[in-house]
Structure formats: C-alpha cells, structure tokens
Structure 1
C-alpha cells in the first residue's frame, strides 16, 4: 500500500498517547474500570464522546465495554462524526485507504468506499479528515478490542437528519456491522448548567426524538440521523454513562459534556407462566 493512501495519526500525543506501550496501558486501565451492562441484545450502534482520553476516555470506555462479547463478530465499523475544522456539504469520505494510529493501520472497507461514491451527497476529500480528531480517537479503542475489522469513516457536514438516516440504512449490514456516532454534548458551560443541558439532550436521545441542536451536541446532525434510523429498526436506546470534564479531569467553571449510549434491538417479550 502506497504511503499516500494512509491517513497518518493527527492527534496522537495530544488527545491520547503517542507511544504504543503507554497507549496500550492507558486503554487497559480505562477498560478495566468500565462496567459492561447485562443485555438481552448486543448493541447495533453506539454514541461515544471524542475528547482527550483523560477527559472523556472513561465515558467512551463504558460504551466499548459493551462490545467485548462481540469482539470476534464485528468486522465493519461505520463511523460518523462532525467536521470541526473544514466545512463540508453533505458527507466526506477520505481518499486514504487506511487510518494509522500508534497501534497500527486500520483499512477502509473498499467495496463500501467505491459504492458510496455513487451518492450525490458524498465527496471524497482527505482535507476534512486530515486534522479531524472525532473519528481518530475512537480507533485505538477499537484496535484494542476487536480482532479484525474495516472502517467506513464519514464526516458529516451540512446535511439533513433524513439524509444521515438514509446513509446509515445503506450501510446497515448485519451482526458484523457496528454503527458508531462520535459526539460530545454541551461545550463550555458551568458544571451545573452542563448537567442540566446534557440531561435534557440525553432524554431526547433515549426517546429517539431527533431534535438535538449543535449547542446540545457537536454531533447533533449524525445523532439525529441515527435516531431516525433507530426508529425505523425499532432499536432501544440505553444510557451507559453521562458525565462531564468537571467529573473527570477538568475544573468546573467551564466544562464539556460526554455521554455513551447503546442502541439495541428490543428485548424479546417475556411470557407469563401459566
């Protein structure tokens, strides 16, 4: 594979450790304290935060802990996140065919990459991905957890939630496919104001109401699209963790909110005994 086809790590050494051994140690510590919930069904989709690991890593780890029983089943991860640096109309796929982290390279699902280019709302452009952290910070978690997988990394710009839902429908797949939306919640509110805002946002998510705005979540657009898709597939949303940077590693004067949410098929009905 030519070097030009690899998207190098952009935020290693900033959002997470650059050294492989230090990174593996931090991931192991984060995962060791994460609690896996009892599920009748395993997650089809997750919402995870994307700040530096010292801030949002514990909340993200709670989502990834739910995937441990599926580590040999998940082979494709569809990753959606907001564009923080480069404006995009619709959706942006990278031209690069692999993403690198200190733990190695993760290949793109090439068949999907080729097929998605037929959509008129998708551009192939490395520039939005080059310095974007929201998808990159998820990769070391996935690399440490899953045995072998490909990714479909999509940055969501100016798009309608229904367009996001349609895109997810196109990529839904079966048990081998995990849908991942990367998003933080409120930004730079006081601790208690953030708690109020984030709880209100989570209530909308748990009710599958696709009305979040970008003050409630930087990834409001992909989240709203996921909620529409979850409605269509009768998924049930379950809150796994809800905290902010004032709970983890920051002061409480100005915080960023984080949540992890799992979306599962509805539990099978229980039958009364006769």
Structure 2
C-alpha cells in the first residue's frame, strides 16, 4: 500500500475536516479556546472520531487539557478498524503521517517494541483509508507539536495482547489517546440511555464493553484494565451525540470524552502481569471446567485445581467447541443463559460431547488429540436493517456473531465462522440455511442481533 519509509497521505482531509491549513488551524484553535492554567494534565484521553462538524467539540473538551503545554515526548494513538477486517493490531511501515498542517513523525523505537508483541502486524492497508486516527492528528499537531506518534489500527485483537501493548508502551513520557465513538444509529433518547451506561462502565473501570457500546471497545477494554491496575482515575469531560451537534435525532451516533489522571508507572513486567493475570485466570478456569466435564462424559477423571473467581458465579453465556484432527467434533452453546457461568460451561461442555445432533457421542478413544475452545459471549444487541444489503453493510467480519430469527426459525453463527465465510452475503446465506430457510430468502420480518466473543483454546492437545 505504501512503500517502506514513505509518508501516509491524508485520506479524509476535506471530508472529515478542512483541507486548507489556515482554515484547519483556526478551526482547531477556536474549538480549544484559551488555555486555563489550573487544568491538570491527563495521562490518557478518550476522544471521538466523526467529522469535525459532528464531534470535534467533544474531542476538544479533552484536548483542551493539553493546552497548557504538556511535557510529553510521544503518543500511543489507538483507533478501531473501519475499512479492513483483520486479526490483531496493525502498525504502519511509514516514517510519518501527513495532514494539511504538515508531517507527524512515527516513533521508530515504539514501533520496534510493539512489533515484538503478540498480535502485532506490520500492515499499511488498515491505515490507508482509516479516519479514526487521522482526525486526531491536527489536534496533536496544534497542541503537542513536539511529539512523535505510534498510530495503531486495532482489528479483532485479543484483549490480553492489547493489555500488554498498552502496559508496555505507556510511561510518564507517553500520552495514550484512544479514538472511539459510542452507540451507532439509534434514536436520540435510546442513544442517550445507552451511552450513559457505557460511560458508567468506563468511569468504574469495568471492561465490559462490546461493539454496540463503542466501536473502539477492544482497545478501550484493555485501557480500562491497565488504568485500573495502575490506580488511575477517570473523569468524564463530555457526553453528547450527533443529534446535539449537527445531525437529526432519528439515527444518531454517540460521542464521549474522558481523561485519566494519576502517576503513570514506568513500564515493567510486574505491571503487565498484574494487568493481564486476572483475564488469563478466567480463561484458564473456563477451559478447565470444560475439560473436566468433557472428560467425565467418556469416563475420565481429571485431577485439577479450580480457582474460585467471582465471575464464575455470575450469569453468563458460552459456547464450547470440540475439534479433533482439525475438524469440528461438537459445538453447543447458549445465547442468553440465566445460569451461572460455571454451570453454563459445564452444561455446554457435556452437551458438545454427547448431544450435538451432527455427531455421535464422543468416545474415550477420541479423548487423546481433542482440542477444546470456550467462547464467552457479550449480551446480544438487536440492530435494525432495511434490506439484506443493509445487513451486509452493517456487519463487521471477524468481530460480529449473528443471531437470525424469522418466526420459529432461529440460528446463530459465532464470529469464528467468518474465517471460513469471509463475505457478509455468504455468511448470511449459510446462516439462513442453518435456520432452515432458503439461502436466497429475505423478509422484512427477519430479526437480527449481534454479539462479540472472547475465546480461549487449549494451547496443547489435551492428554488423558
């Protein structure tokens, strides 16, 4: 896309923000206003990324905190992928990003560190047309002209990988800027309620957000984990939507601005371990539960220690998937379970081994070489579509799990299914077939919901 050592040109100048340097500089300065000496300096910001007419005033409420002359040297800039579907997080190969205000240098040292982390890919394609990072650059150039950046487009990345990325690169000389909008295309009053709940999760450092709450949910959840581990305090600066700024109130997009304050510790292994350990412990516990229950169905008793984590006693929905020799051997789950998480995993593990109608019950001889995966589902959220093409346009490959309902017909595909059906139309066609409908069927009465998953898989083939 770009040649190594080249400069990324602007993709949305003149569309999302002014392409004339003088007009753009004046626009930024007018929104920021005059610096106020009493404002504290944040160590991280959450800002929106719509066109300036819609969300720049909300973003300015956060950037204004930097107007007093913050002494940062570099910026870790994170934003969600909107144009290219991929796994992990993408770093650019270029030396700089260009805007009408000039070039912003990419920090080579940060890039080399990040490339050594799990989940990192060097790929310019996700950056080429991505607006979520670009619209932040004029603010950075105006307020922190001394800073270099590491711009990262986040795809379908694992939380533990993003936690390690942020914990590794975030120190007292590094400002973290996370770009995300909130809810999308709901009526005004519904969006207000939804976005207020999302803001509550953020302020309470609860990493429970999904794609319906914020398009940057993957990086935002990871930031919340690290911020909590480091004892940082979040403060809401603004919360509005496009119906408050420049759009109608029929279908709005939510925008929030948040700043985090506190002393950022230098990046150390102990900080990273503290940030990721609880999430990894939950995944390990779910896998152990699944292994114990699958093994029991074939007469094998495993001697393992089970941690008693609080989350295991809360309601949760899971899928348990069994594979052998690279082929599906069983998959059973629940979409909206009222069972405790530990009970839901146990039930689905046993059912995947014995009650998946596509397979005979698992035998003891098949235990060796069996691979087990547990998927933890977010709460499903309905989304309105006007046609099948509209549904295809709204779906995000590799991220969205989908529930399709039509009268008594009902089926779901986990996000993992995108790996074999990467085109939205093919994905929906196969989902309709699974529900007992024709692949070409469509009706305005079809109801769609989507959800996201976190998944854990045994790293090695399980042994008896």
Same fold, judged at TM 0.5 (above): yes
Aligned CA-pair RMSD? 1.7
Equivalent residue for 1:272?
A: none
Change (3 A) 1:226 1:120: closer
Change (3 A) 1:222 1:189: same
Contact 1:101 1:140 in 2 (8 A): yes
Q: Following the alignment from structure 1 to structure 2, what is the Cα–Cα distance between the partners of residues 165 and 67? A: 25
Which of 112, 123, 133 is matched with 1:125 structurally? 123
Q: Following the alignment from structure 2 to structure 1, what is the Cα–Cα distance between the partners of residues 110 and 12? A: 26
Return the index of the structure with the highest Cα Rg.
2
The alpha-carbon deviation at position 36 of structure 1 amounts to: 6.0
Secondary structure, aligned partner of 1:46: strand
TM-score by length of 1: 0.91
Equivalent residue runs for 1:1-40 within 5 Å: 5-32=6-33
The alpha-carbon deviation at position 119 of structure 1 amounts to: 2.2
The runs of 5 or more residues in structure 1 that have no matched partner are 267-274
Equivalent residue for 1:112?
A: 110
Change (3 A) 1:106 1:7: same
Q: Does 1:60 align with 2:59?
A: yes
Secondary structure, aligned partner of 1:135: helix
Q: Following the alignment from structure 1 to structure 2, what is the Cα–Cα distance between the partners of residues 24 and 119? A: 37
Which of 192, 195, 207 is matched with 1:210 structurally? 207
Q: Following the alignment from structure 1 to structure 2, what is the Cα–Cα distance between the partners of residues 68 and 263? A: 16
Change (3 A) 1:252 1:121: same
TM-score by length of 2: 0.54
Q: Following the alignment from structure 1 to structure 2, what is the Cα–Cα distance between the partners of residues 227 and 107? A: 27
Equivalent residue for 2:151?
A: 153
The alpha-carbon deviation at position 205 of structure 1 amounts to: 0.2
Contact 2:37 2:68 in 1 (8 A): no
The alpha-carbon deviation at position 5 of structure 1 amounts to: 1.1
Which of 217, 229, 234 is matched with 1:232 structurally? 229
Secondary structure, aligned partner of 1:253: coil
The runs of 5 or more residues in structure 2 that have no matched partner are 264-464
Equivalent residue runs for 1:181-200 within 5 Å: 181-200=178-197
Aligned residues: 261
Equivalent residue runs for 1:138-177 within 5 Å: 138-174=136-172, 176-177=173-174
The alpha-carbon deviation at position 216 of structure 1 amounts to: 0.7
Q: Which has the higher contact order (CA 8 A, sep 6+)?
A: 1
Equivalent residue for 2:50?
A: 51
Q: Following the alignment from structure 2 to structure 1, what is the Cα–Cα distance between the partners of residues 11 and 38? A: 36
The alpha-carbon deviation at position 3 of structure 1 amounts to: 9.2
Contact 1:50 1:184 in 2 (8 A): yes
Contact 1:97 1:108 in 2 (8 A): yes
Q: Following the alignment from structure 1 to structure 2, what is the Cα–Cα distance between the partners of residues 99 and 204? A: 33
Contact 1:36 1:62 in 2 (8 A): no
Contact 1:37 1:66 in 2 (8 A): no
